[in-house]
Copies of this chain bind each other. A is one copy, B any other.
Amino acid sequence: MSSVWGRNLTVTVFGQSHAEAIGVVVDGLPAGLRIDTEELQAFLQRRAAGGPFATARKEPDVPEIVSGLVDGVTCGAPITALIRNTNVRSGDYSDLRDHPRPSHADYPASVRFDGANDIRGGGQFSGRLTAALCVAGGLCMQFLKTKGVAIGGHIASIGKIHDKAFDPVTVTADEFLTDAFPVRDNEAKTAMQELITVTRSEGDSVGGTIECAAVGLPAGVGDPLFDGLENRISSIVFGIPAVKGVEFGNGFAAAELTGSENNDAYYYAGDTVKTHTNRHGGILGGISTGMPLVLRVAIKPTPSIAKEQETVELSSKTGYTQQIKGRHDPCIVPRAVPCVEAALAIALADYLV
């Protein structure tokens, strides 16, 4: 079931980087929901390739919705979106099959699939599949809007340069950025872009973190034990390539604090129970508290770098010095922001449909 996620709302992602198409089937959204395709397209655009800080591969990423809508309105049948892979460079990939790229999935995938895995452009493991995830996420966001829930994120850091974090108590949808390089602090933004430019010129790549928030989620959403918000959000977030960590609220920082430093005192704001601080990130016992849900995700530096690297030659069982050619992002973090938002939207929609 590796390509299927969900319980009440199921998302089935398909495709490989160089297959005829990638796409997604979203089953379980309520019937009668009008889909704004322009809004969906604008969301996808944030992930799509383009700009000086991303790969040269340009895909239009215009999904064709082939089922599930009647006159733009959901009908209860699963929504299926297809994105054709138009800008596929054909070529000889036998070299790549014999020489797995360091820190890519090439080698474990080859063991897992007995050497039959699609090696072209990373196959099923390509970041390209996040376009499908974003279609599902974009649809879920439109559903969540009907429930008063909004989701947004920003680049929290690239390398050692940090953006200003959301205030976890007061953050609102108005603060959510929608540009292709979403950073809240302009100085940090400039520094990040310079770092990426330098890193690219050195034939290297750089990682970063993403902060994401959901506002408007009422208290009482979630479940104990294995179906808690953290369990389910993380189970989909790790489906985004390059994610190596996830934390909620204070996260790893909480490990250094005392209870009196980390606890959040309750109070009544009118009729509503709130907390003065939000170190818990809006989740306690797997269930929402009504405070903003806040998480951070660690994105490793893109393993595709231009620098020479040591790897192996599988056919001869010897060492091999490799130089990866072709297009690749020096920093995947900006494009990963809408992916994390999408994952969060899907996870929340699964509870609320």
**Interface majority SS (helix, strand, loop, mixed), chain A:** mixed
B residues in contact with A67, CB < 8 Å: 14-16, 19-23
Q: How far, in Å, is A268 (CB) from chain B's closest CB?
A: 5
B residues in contact with A2, CB < 8 Å: 27-28, 223-228, 286
Of the candidates B1, B28, B100, B111, the one whose C-beta lies within 8 Å of that of A27 is B1
Tell me whether A78 and B14 are in contact (CB under 8 A).
yes
B residues in contact with A289, CB < 8 Å: 107-108
Tell me whether A267 and B31 are in contact (CB under 8 A).
no
Residue among A2, A105, A112, A307 having the largest count of chain B Cβ atoms under 10 Å = A2
8 A-B residue pairs with CB within 8 Å: A1-B226, A70-B120, A76-B113, A77-B117, A207-B262, A231-B238, A244-B251, A273-B312
- Interface code A233-259, partner B: CB below 8 Å = 1, 0 otherwise? 011101101011111111110111111
- Interface code A145-185, partner B: CB below 8 Å = 1, 0 otherwise? 00000000000010110000000000000000000000000
Of the candidates B100, B104, B236, B256, the one whose C-beta lies within 8 Å of that of A160 is B256
Tell me whether B259 and A303 are in contact (CB under 8 A).
yes
Tell me whether B310 and A265 are in contact (CB under 8 A).
yes
Q: How far, in Å, is A339 (CB) from chain B's closest CB?
A: 13
Number of residues on chain A facing chain B (CB within 8 A): 146
| A binding-site residues for B, Cβ under 8 Å | 1-8, 10, 12-16, 19-23, 25, 27-28, 30-32, 64-68, 70, 73-78, 80, 82, 100, 102-105, 107-109, 111-118, 120, 123-125, 129, 157, 159-160, 199, 204-209, 219-228, 230-232, 234-236, 238-239, 241, 243-252, 254-268, 271, 273, 275-276, 279-281, 283-290, 298-305, 307, 309-312, 314, 317-319
* A247 and B248 contact, Cβ closer than 8 Å, known pairs A76-B109, A228-B2: no
Of the candidates B231, B232, B236, B285, the one whose C-beta lies within 8 Å of that of A108 is B285
